[in-house]
Chains A and B, each alone.
Chain A
Amino acid sequence: MFKLFNGSFENILRRSKQCVTALQQRLEYFFTRYLLTLKLCQSDILDVFDGIQFLPLNKNTYLRIKCFINQLEAQFPEVKYTAFLYNDQLVWSGLEQEDMRIMYRYLITGLFPSYLEQNLQTENMSPVRLSGATTGAQIHYGKFITGPPDIKDESNMGKVPHVYLNTEEDNEECYLLVYRALSASVCMFINVNTSLTFPLCQKLDEFLGPTLTSLASDIADQYSKKPSGFTEPQYKYVYFNHMNLAQKTTVHVDSKKASTVTIPPDTLKLLSDISSDFSKCEEDAETIVKTLNDSWVVGKKSDHREFYVVINQKNANLIEINEEVKKLCSTHFTSVFFLD
């Protein structure tokens, strides 16, 4: 996280002509604030994985989003990289995986929650805006999260964070411009050597607003159509793939982890313990644990994937649990190669 906003130590030293004090100051400034935001007592296995939740989407919508981003980058060469998120789930990243991992963490734990909070306070959740009342009433819900807070107020460029990326070159300093319509967010990374001007933001707003609004409502439609009412299963699971950092969880109610977990805290802690055991051995492995309150915890590791299930089935024996997990894998993970 420090590197995201400051670049590497080496880079800081080089820029300050090997002045260690400058680095010290930076470190102090950053960590005195950052450490306070960490809530270690609430940390759990998700913090161990530090993964990314991807949005499951059908191919056509995904392609539309991807093409939209391509068009954005083609029309605005200033925009060097782009990432697309829906709520707290990632759809596309133009950044390299490691950069995206940190960026994702910043977005969902820092930027988005504070933006939503701010919006709640100002009672300004859905600013329906008419862009150019004379040129046809085109309503869209687009708004900059970082950048100009009001697209009509030219004097206010708003706050635009600087971030350091390592996607195409090391320690590349970029502006992070985030634009949101409904639940869809577009993160645009603009190299600091290109000037970020108000007219550019206006043009971006014109380009992004209408299409992003329609894409966001299409995604929302897709989700409202999905059968949500299928019965709550008897088990909870956490899944993580080290290769693409994809994580899934039914243990947590939302990814913001507002201490709303569906399993007891000590069971949750057990997951981290098993994971830590797994990390010590190279081989694929499987662990089955029965907890004191008579629920079963199964941990599996197979080809860089980790999978944990908590089953609340009273009086079940080991064989039954094993069967249950097999069944679970064959229904939930049909499209991945998962050894039993």
Chain B
Amino acid sequence: MAVSNVTPQAEEGSYYLQLCKNPIRFELVSKATNVFFDDSNKQVFAVRAGGTTGVVVKGPDEKTNLTFRMEDRGEVISIKFSPDHRILGIQRCLKSVEFINFSHDMVPDNLEYSQTCKSKSTQIRGFCWCNCNEIVFITDQAVEFYQISPEKKSLKCLKTFSLSINWFVWLPINCVLLVSSGTIGNTLNPFLFKPSTVNRLPKFDVDLPTVPKPPKLALLQRDVTMTCLYGVVYIIVLRHQPRGGTTGAEIVLYQLQKESPAKKTDILRLDMSGRFAVNVVDNLLIVHHQASRTSMIFDIKLGGEFDNYVVCHHPVLSPLPIRPFRLLLPPAPSLPVGSEKTEFTFELYSDNWIVFQPDIIIDAKLGSLWYVQLCLEPLVEMIPDKCKLIEFLLLRKDSKMVVLSVCRQMLIPGHQASLVTIARIYDMLNDVYKNYQEAETQSLVYSVDNPNRPDPHQRCNKVILDQSDMYTHVFSVFENSKNISHKFMVAVLIEYIRSLNEHQINVQHYLYELVINILVHHNCFYQLHQFLQYHVLSDSKPLACLMLSLESVYMPSHQLALDMMKRLSTANEEIIEVLLSKQQLLPALRFIRSIGIIDTVSARKFLEAALNCDDQMLFYTVFKFFEQRNIRLRGSPKFPSGEHCEHYVHHFESLFGTEALEDVPSG
């Protein structure tokens, strides 16, 4: 369902789509100038007087912009560079395509060569570059696949498929060609191009609401596009009068299959009728509706109503217009020279708009080319359901900071979300995090045999929020905002720790520290005790030391600390220190005996502690213990001078006399 509680247009924030700030400007169409757009390289060609007075090429990459001249050999029908910009293809008639080679510094050699289509009776409907040196001609009777050799200035036909063709659609990124055949045009034949090969994929029929009688072309090129959503190729068919009584148009998605005919998978309900155009931005389908001057967004991953056959989607949000766009233009000629440039707010959704895939809008009359962009920040206010919002944002790229700010917002009083919502959102974040971690481990395994592994970031193309992100950007709000109840803070952190545990992600120590600090700060020692008892807060040396320091305020923490040190098994040194500091000398001696480190401990440390106990018997015992050790290690009860125990020997002698010392064996 479309949800929006914001009145559109009223405020600056209530737009979710905008046109890029710096459009590509090009010459207007006139008697002398023709303008072409190549949607593969996204370049605009302004051809003046058939090329004799210049061809101006402009594209997204300024480095590839160029101007050159060519001979006027008739009206240009279509003009496109190869992907590496080294060969220019020009179609001027229905029988052939001409080529001009370009040097590295983009200078044409102006020696055209040409390729005619196979049969004399056919007409070329168009051509597409499949590769730097491969090109496909689509004629009315065949698909002709050529390899081009610029050095020899010749082409070689690699493959021909004969079929009658009404029109075609080309998806440059995936090199998929779709041609329409049949009288009513609803039989679609996909071809998949790969370097020097082409695969003909199974054809499929698009069901039409009504079949005209007598039969004539009913499925038109303007109603069919192709796109890639979440890495999968879809054929998008706009259906103006859907069958089955529902009013308004709909869009049907066919998922391209390798082995079987394309499968109808999704239906997008537009609930409007009239002229539509489709763009794809960040895996979202954007449907522009001219009559209402609004655009809708659809996300096929957000789920919809499934009828065991297709999934039916509604727009993510209510239709809204694109953010108004202003252009600074030179003053009109009627105004005095020297006037400032004037700012024009121009018409959106104008009749002069032409929409190209995936995200391009061209206004031919204004001479502008824009990219459509998604505005994420305003969406935060438009989707009140936080779970849905996060789900949506996690599917977008570059949404990390927005997601973090939403997570942060959810903890601030006044905007606080319920713990149930927070729990679900943390689970979503950690799902993505876990999948990413797994992908990363897998790619590490692969990288051993394959150094050209794809970057996991690119592969998942997803927003990853790890523990340090959450700590620095989300939980940090606890420090600054004093009016959050400690109960809520602990609940939120425990919820996050639970989610991490359930996703088998190791919890970082700083999260535990945060929980402990909050609990200690609010004297919730018994709660802390219970968490430790169930090992919710994992053992660590710093945590054990922290617990030790709490003994004065909470007595049991001493025991907790010792238990933890024992489990760590790397904190024996600390255990000895603790026991000695508590004057528990005999337990300390028993402890070193139990873990078998009698031979390595410092006798001085124990003797010093025994001396401080002010207990003669205890001192005697400890002294004798180490005398025995000396005998065992060196055959003599004497302390080696390196141990610096002379002071304690003197003390022993003064208490018990020299005769109490163990005899030094003679010889």
Contact = CB atoms under 8 A, between A and B. Distances in A.
Interface in A296-340: 303-305, 334-337, 339-340
Nearest to A305: B559
Interface stretch (B46-54, B323-331, B561-569): B561-569
Interface in B226-279: none
Given A97-B526, A339-B591, A67 B565 contact: no
Given A73-B487, A339-B590, A60 B502 contact: yes
A322 B423 CA distance: 51
A337 B534 contact: no
Question: Is chain A's interface secondary structure helix, strand, loop, or mixed overall?
Answer: mixed
Given A62-B534, A70-B495, A244-B529, A75 B501 contact: no
Interface string B309-329: 000000000000000000000
Contacts of A54: 533
A116 interface: no
B195 interface: no
Contacts of A96: 526
Interface centre among B488, B491, B533, B534 (most CB of A within 10 A): B534
Given A71-B420, A71-B423, A74-B418, A59 B501 contact: yes
A340 B594 CA distance: 8
Interface size grouping (class) on chain A: 20 to 34
B494 interface: yes
B526 A63 contact: no
B494 A66 contact: yes
Nearest to A96: B526
B491 A62 contact: no
A67 B536 contact: no
Contacts of B420: 71, 75
A63 B498 contact: yes
Given A71-B423, A97-B526, A243-B556, A63 B501 contact: yes
Contact of A244 (B418, B527, B533): B533
B587 interface: yes
Contact of B423 (A62, A67, A284): A67
Given A70-B419, A336-B563, A340-B590, A63 B555 contact: no
Interface string B367-386: 00000000000000000000
Contacts of B497: 63
A337 B536 CA distance: 19
Interface centre among A57, A70, A241, A305 (most CB of B within 10 A): A70
A67 B491 contact: yes
Contacts of B536: 59, 62-63, 66
Interface size grouping (class) on chain B: 35 or more
Contacts of B566: 335-337
Contact of B555 (A92, A243, A246): A243
B616 interface: no
A64 B590 CA distance: 41
Interface string B580-596: 00000001001100100
A93 interface: yes
B530 interface: yes
A240 B126 CA distance: 87
B575 interface: yes
A304 B420 CA distance: 40
Contacts of B529: 97, 244
Interface in B408-440: 418-420, 423
Contacts of B575: 337
A63 B556 contact: no
Contacts of B487: 70, 73-74
Interface string A179-214: 000000000000000000000000000000000000
B535 interface: yes
Interface centre among A62, A63, A75, A97 (most CB of B within 10 A): A63
B563 A337 contact: yes
A70 B494 contact: yes
Interface string A213-250: 00000000000000000000000000001011010000
Interface in A256-286: 284
B550 to A, nearest CB: 13
Interface in B542-582: 555-556, 559-560, 562-563, 565-567, 575
Contacts of A57: 534
B419 A74 contact: yes
Interface string B489-513: 0110011011001100000000000
A246 B566 CA distance: 19
Contacts of B563: 335-337
Contact of A60 (B418, B419, B498, B567): B498
Interface in A54-100: 54, 57, 59-60, 62-64, 66-67, 70-71, 73-75, 92-94, 96-97
Nearest to B498: A63
Interface in A75-131: 75, 92-94, 96-97
Nearest to A167: B526
Given A63-B501, A64-B498, A337 B559 contact: yes
B281 to A, nearest CB: 37
Interface centre among A60, A67, A303 (most CB of B within 10 A): A67
Nearest to B562: A337
Contact of A93 (B418, B498, B530): B530
Contacts of A246: 533
Contacts of B527: 94
Interface centre among B423, B494, B498 (most CB of A within 10 A): B498
Nearest to B566: A337
Contacts of B559: 241, 243, 303-305, 337
A305 B558 CA distance: 13
A93 B562 CA distance: 23
A304 B557 CA distance: 12
Contact of B534 (A59, A73, A305): A59
A335 B587 CA distance: 18
Contacts of B490: 70
A70 to B, nearest CB: 4
Interface in B463-496: 487-488, 490-491, 494-495
Given A62-B536, A67-B419, 5 more contacts: A59-B534, A66-B536, A67-B494, A336-B563, A339-B587
28 contacts: A57-B534, A59-B536, A63-B494, A63-B501, A66-B536, A67-B423, A67-B495, A70-B419, A70-B495, A71-B419, A73-B487, A73-B491, A93-B530, A96-B526, A246-B533, A304-B556, A334-B567, A335-B566, A335-B567, A336-B563, A336-B566, A337-B559, A337-B562, A337-B563, A337-B566, A337-B575, A339-B590, A339-B591
When A and B form their complex, which 10 residue pairs have the shortest distance between CB atoms, in order from nearest? A70-B491, A63-B498, A243-B556, A337-B562, A337-B566, A71-B419, A62-B534, A74-B419, A336-B563, A243-B559
Interface of A: 54, 57, 59-60, 62-64, 66-67, 70-71, 73-75, 92-94, 96-97, 241, 243-244, 246, 284, 303-305, 334-337, 339-340
